[in-house]
Structure 1
Amino acid sequence: MAEVKKSTAKTTAKKPATKKPAAKKTTATKDTSEVRSTKAQKAAPLKAGATKAAAASPDTGAGTSGDFKERAVSKAKSAASQGKERTGTAIENLSRMIEDSAKTIDDNVGEKYGNYARSAADAVSSFAEKLNSKEIDEIVEDARGYVRKSPAVAIGAAAVVGFLVSRLIKSGMDDNDA
């Protein structure tokens, strides 16, 4: 009989042991969800402005994305117009430099080559005037039309511009190292 009591004791001891891990699993699941909620709370301050805007809007947030898009477009147009003005000014300065060098070319090389320089200066100046007279939207549409007409030339031009920009950046980095 003593042996029967031991086996009964073993089975009773095993039953609570199986129940305890189940309780621990539930607790572990609760801990995991608490950790997730804590992580979400840490990320919440990054989106605080968007959350406040969505809460203030009677819509479900569709209005805020439209406002964001409008602000982004207006900032991009503003930056593009500033860039256009700077580019126009730089091209006008280049035209003046070419015109001034035409006189030197007349004296050193000959009047024929000086006339080439003047015609180049006139072409650069007319390009600057066209650039300054157009709005950003017109320039974008002209660029799209050009890319549609000759995509190979546009891709080649983009590659050349990319190469030149990378060289400029690299030379700037080399100057900073020296």
Structure 2
Amino acid sequence: MAEVKKPTIKSTTKAAAKKPAAKKAATKKTAPQKDTSETRTTKAQKAAPLKAGATKAAATKKDTTGDFKDRALTKAKSAASQGKERTGNAIENLSKIIEDSAKTIDDNVGEKYGDYARSAADAVSSFAEKLNAKEIDEMVEDARGFVRKSPAVAIGAAAVVGFLVSRLIKSGMDDRDA
């Protein structure tokens, strides 16, 4: 008899344990749900109005960013134009120096070498004229075209220029220390 009662107790315990779980699940299902019967008639609604001055601030920020970019671009072009003008003048002066030294070369070394100096002075002078005649934008486009055509030469030239600039800066610092 004892054996028969034990299984009955176990099944009652299991059934009792299952009933509260079932009640909890039923409780969760009966929670209030949103009413979805309502439909919207418009696709998009306008945003709530911003605080006074917020749209002005946003517009001003865009204007300031554009204005800053324009000012920086103008300043960079101005600096490039000044640098181009100085470079053109320096190259013209170099041409004049070579031309002036051509007579000395004629007297000391010979007319043949003096002619070389004069042709070099002419080449340098024509380069200075071309440089002065071009606008900055044209020069930038020419440089881009050159880099596209021969990137290896452009990288090599950039390396040489970087080396020379670093040497000039280093020698300038050495002069200050002395």
Structure 1 length-normalised TM: 0.67
Runs of 4+ displaced beyond 2 Å: 54-58
Aligned partner of 2:133 in structure 1 is: 133
Aligned partner of 1:66 in structure 2 is: 66
Report the AA paired with residue 134 of structure 1. Answer: K
Displacement of 1:177? 1.1
Q: In structure 2, how many angstroms separate the alpha carbons of the residues matched to 1:86 and 1:55? A: 46
Displacement of 1:56? 6.0
Q: Structure 1 stretches of 5 or more lacking a match? A: 1-53
| Preserved contact between residue 57 and residue 63 of structure 1 (Cα < 8 Å) | no
Displacement of 1:57? 5.2
Displacement of 1:58? 5.9
Q: In structure 2, how many angstroms separate the alpha carbons of the residues matched to 1:145 and 1:91? A: 23
Q: In structure 1, how many angstroms separate the alpha carbons of the residues matched to 2:94 and 2:73? A: 31
Alignment of 1:10-89 (within 5 A): 59=59, 61-89=61-89
Report the AA paired with residue 94 of structure 2. Answer: L
How many residues align? The count is: 125
Q: In structure 1, how many angstroms separate the alpha carbons of the residues matched to 2:133 and 2:92? A: 13
Aligned partner of 2:176 in structure 1 is: 176
Report the AA paired with residue 130 of structure 2. Answer: K
Aligned partner of 1:166 in structure 2 is: 166
Report the AA paired with residue 159 of structure 2. Answer: A
Report the AA paired with residue 137 of structure 1. Answer: D
Q: In structure 2, how many angstroms separate the alpha carbons of the residues matched to 1:56 and 1:101? A: 66
- Closer, same or farther: CA 124–64 of 1 in aligned 2, 3 Å: same
Aligned partner of 2:92 in structure 1 is: 92
- Closer, same or farther: CA 55–84 of 1 in aligned 2, 3 Å: farther
Structure number with higher helix proportion: 1
Deviations, residues 37-78 of structure 1 (Å, cap 9, x unaligned): xxxxxxxxxxxxxxxxx9965616222111110000000000
**Quick check: which has more Rg, 1 or 2?**
2
Alignment of 1:137-156 (within 5 A): 137-156=137-156
Displacement of 1:110? 0.7
- Closer, same or farther: CA 55–122 of 1 in aligned 2, 3 Å: farther
Aligned partner of 1:44 in structure 2 is: none
Aligned partner of 2:20 in structure 1 is: none
Q: In structure 2, how many angstroms separate the alpha carbons of the residues matched to 1:60 and 1:93? A: 49
| Preserved contact between residue 95 and residue 125 of structure 1 (Cα < 8 Å) | yes
Report the AA paired with residue 99 of structure 2. Answer: E
